[in-house]
Amino acid sequence: MPTRLPGTRAVPSSTAASRVLKATVKLLLMHLEKSNPYGPINPKDVIEFEEDNEVSLPGDYKEFLLEHNGGHPEPSALPTFGTDVHWLFGMVEEPAWASLFHALAVYEGRIPSWYMPIGTDSGGNLYIMSLYEENKGVIALWWHEDEAPANGSDYFDNLTPVADSFSEFAALLTESYL
């Protein structure tokens, strides 16, 4: 679990570690309760998304999108944070609640500008991922009850660091809160 606020440090990368973490994501999330419920995507879709949004997604998150394109993870509890992962957004247009595109539009200006929403917990809070080169892939929990009263693009007071990567985030999921 990271000890600093996302956006304050670089996350080191290693090819071997990256392969292990990608394998971890694949193993932990291969049993999504509703994997690809609204259709799969292909590598071209990911490339177009990155080009259209002028971003570069972390490799483990791309793997997740290509393999599952969102869904409800099982296991889904995050006991350290007293919450769960209800849904991970996919590259779908409908339904809006499952759509990465819809979440990007709804939360633009409400979450830090170099972060992107990747999912929700059961209480309506967001999991957001840093796309800033210095800490790309860092996951934070964005608490909607403490949202910035105005522009949230540079507001970090309602963020809780969760993981240094999507793979680490997936590895934190457990069967229960106990």
Q: 3-32, pLDDT tens digit by residue? A: 344 444 344 445 666 666 555 555 555 455
Q: What pLDDT does residue 75 have? A: 85
Tell which residue, 178, 146, 150, has the closest CA to residue 75.
Answer: 178
Q: How far apart are CA 33 and CA 39, in angstroms?
A: 14
How far apart, in whole angstroms, are the C-alpha atoms of residue 141 and residue 130?
Answer: 11
The DSSP letter of residue 115 is: E
Q: Which domains does the chain have, with CATH numbers?
A: 15-172 (3.40.1580.10)
Q: What is the pLDDT of residues 34-75, one digit of tens each?
A: 666 778 899 999 999 999 999 999 999 999 999 889 998 888
pLDDT at 84: 94
